[in-house]
A and B are shown apart, each in its own frame.
Chain A
Amino acid sequence: MYYLDLLIEYLKNYMKTRLTYRADFWVEVISDLLFQATNFIFILVIFMHTDSLGGWNQNEVVFVYGFFMVPFGVFSCFVNMWGFSERYIVKGEMDRILTRPAHNLFQIFLENVDPPSLVGSFIGLIVMAISGSNLGLPFEWWTLPMLIILTLSAVAIYTGIYTTLTSLSFYSDAPTGILPLMYNIQTYGRYPVTIYNRAIQVLLTWIIPFAFVGIYPAALFLHRDEMRGMALLTPIVGVVFLSIGLMAWSFGVKRYKGAGS
């Protein structure tokens, strides 16, 4: 309850600052949408030259893409650790975080809430609805509950992976260039993993499990039975990776000594 109040306060604060820089808000929404649009263009271009991508047709790939946008939007809104090393470690802001009553990781999430990202989630839902009706997908009793569970699991996976990577900045003071490159790699979880060779499949499934934020859970709604087992595994993967992330984080915080100044 205390954390919920905090969240609401920070959101209010966010709106206030954003009203001062109104143009920024729209620039950010538009740039997010453009980012999504360019990925969408890639899919459209692919299907101008082929009918199927590893046995998946255009509507199915677009549906997976729509699903992918939903958890990604939620994750970007509430868990935003972009530039953590520069902002918190190098500038010593982490010291301030540690004196706050809220849990330090949660405090960092709070300070970086980014509501414009949620626009992407809504568009994802619309994309799913359109491509779903093109495919004639039935709306079952479990569709909505599963959508919520799988979205939350996917958010947990993202949070786990990015928290783990971010906590590396407790060990090395150098600006790491890994995070932006990860953003590139996560988009590969949107395409049928079966088109990749064994090594990349294993990598995207078990090591950096981005297939669990896109293709596997989406396959459940598409009634792709070959991936149903993997889809149902999503919550477990979410719990495992979130735990790894939190452990890496608290281990890192213990090692944190401050940057001086």
Chain B
Amino acid sequence: MSKQLATAASSSGSGTPGGSRENGRRLLLGAYFDFIRIRFLTMLAYRVNYYSGILIYTLNIGVNYFTWKAIYGDGESLGGFTGAQMTTYVAVSWMARAFYFNNLDREISTDIRDGSIAIQFIRPYNYVLVKMMQGLGEGLFRFMMLMIPGMLIAILLFPVQLPTEASAWAGFLVMLFFSFLISSQINIITGLSAFFVENNEGMMRMKRVVVDLFSGLIVPITLFPDWLSSVLKVLPFQAITYLPGSVFTGRVQGVGIWNVLGIQVIWFLILLVPIVWLNHAARQRLFVQGG
């Protein structure tokens, strides 16, 4: 099924053959766009699998909601979060995860371990950029088929307070996109590390746990002990969940939204450095195991 889609999409993507540089660039851009489209269509073909995902994400929200409710007891606020804000935060954080989560790390390390990366490297495109595009296609699917329906269910089941100001909505959506970019960048770095450690299964697991905990998904950053939350404020993980969640719950408003968005942009730029470096170093180091 996915093969058919792939051939169908690639035949439509190759336009008129042109010799000029300009034309070649346009073709390459079209190819990148097709990677988004193909992944989206592939995911769409398997959409039934993701219906269970909606249930499971809703269950995650439910369990966390009741756990926090028990923790609050009769208390008014914890770490600056009111009970209502916490409910909203939990719901939007899990649903954001439903969107930005992908397995690029696993895909890349599989390519490296079975040697197919060698073929990918000689193709006339940038491997990392292609992975990013595939991640974007998957994200697009997850946004429409997982996050939006999941959020609707969460709003029905739990007392979630949606932001009333347009700036919060706009800020949140832009920041959500950066969450995706930063999370995917971390995945790509983890995946490319397979070039250097051969078996990076442990690193991938570690990354998953660290991102879930330190991004503020399981515990909002302000609830950690002071020393830990001050450490986490200088790490990229908070940019994935905590910062967009703060905007959505209205804890950050007005000009503050520009500030937290700025933090995300800075992390996006900083994380480009190790990716470019790893990609370069990997080409020097590439040796195919078995193959």
A38 an interface residue at 8 Å Cβ cutoff? Answer: yes
- Whether A181 pairs with B56 at a CB distance below 8 angstroms is yes
Q: Within the complex, what minimum Cβ distance (angstroms) separates B26 from chain A?
A: 34
* CA gap between A35 and B218 in the complex, in Å: 13
Q: Within the complex, what minimum Cβ distance (angstroms) separates A125 from chain B?
A: 22
- Whether A178 pairs with B62 at a CB distance below 8 angstroms is no
- Whether A200 pairs with B213 at a CB distance below 8 angstroms is no
A225 an interface residue at 8 Å Cβ cutoff? Answer: no
* Complex partner residue of B213 from A21, A30, A42, A182, CB under 8 angstroms: A42
State the interface size on chain A (CB cutoff 8 A). Answer: 39
- Whether B218 pairs with A42 at a CB distance below 8 angstroms is yes
- Whether B202 pairs with A196 at a CB distance below 8 angstroms is no
- Whether A195 pairs with B70 at a CB distance below 8 angstroms is yes
On chain A, the residues within 8 Å of B52 by CB distance are 178
Question: Contact flags (1/0) for B181-215 with A, using CB distance below 8 Å?
Answer: 00000000000000001110111011001101100
* Complex partner residue of B223 from A21, A45, A184, CB under 8 angstroms: A45
| A-B residue pair count with CB separations less than 8 angstroms | 103
* CA gap between A23 and B46 in the complex, in Å: 37
On chain A, the residues within 8 Å of B69 by CB distance are 195
* CA gap between A181 and B97 in the complex, in Å: 12
On chain A, the residues within 8 Å of B50 by CB distance are 177
State the interface size on chain B (CB cutoff 8 A). Answer: 39
Query: Taking CB as reference atom, which chain A residue is nearest B114?
Result: A91
- Whether B49 pairs with A177 at a CB distance below 8 angstroms is yes
Query: Taking CB as reference atom, which chain A residue is nearest B59?
Result: A185
On chain A, the residues within 8 Å of B203 by CB distance are 27, 31
Q: Which of B71-79, B116-124, B263-271, B277-285 contacts A (4 or more CB under 8 A)?
A: B71-79
CB-CB under 8 A for A34 and B210, given A23-B197, A28-B201, A172-B49: yes
On chain B, the residues within 8 Å of A195 by CB distance are 66-67, 69-70
- Whether A27 pairs with B197 at a CB distance below 8 angstroms is yes
B219 an interface residue at 8 Å Cβ cutoff? Answer: yes
* CA gap between A50 and B69 in the complex, in Å: 11
29 A-B residue pairs with Cβ-Cβ distance under 8 Å, sorted by A, are: A21-B199, A24-B198, A27-B197, A27-B202, A28-B201, A34-B206, A38-B209, A38-B213, A38-B218, A42-B219, A45-B219, A50-B71, A50-B72, A50-B75, A53-B67, A175-B46, A181-B53, A181-B56, A181-B60, A182-B56, A184-B56, A184-B60, A191-B67, A195-B67, A195-B70, A196-B63, A200-B59, A200-B63, A200-B66
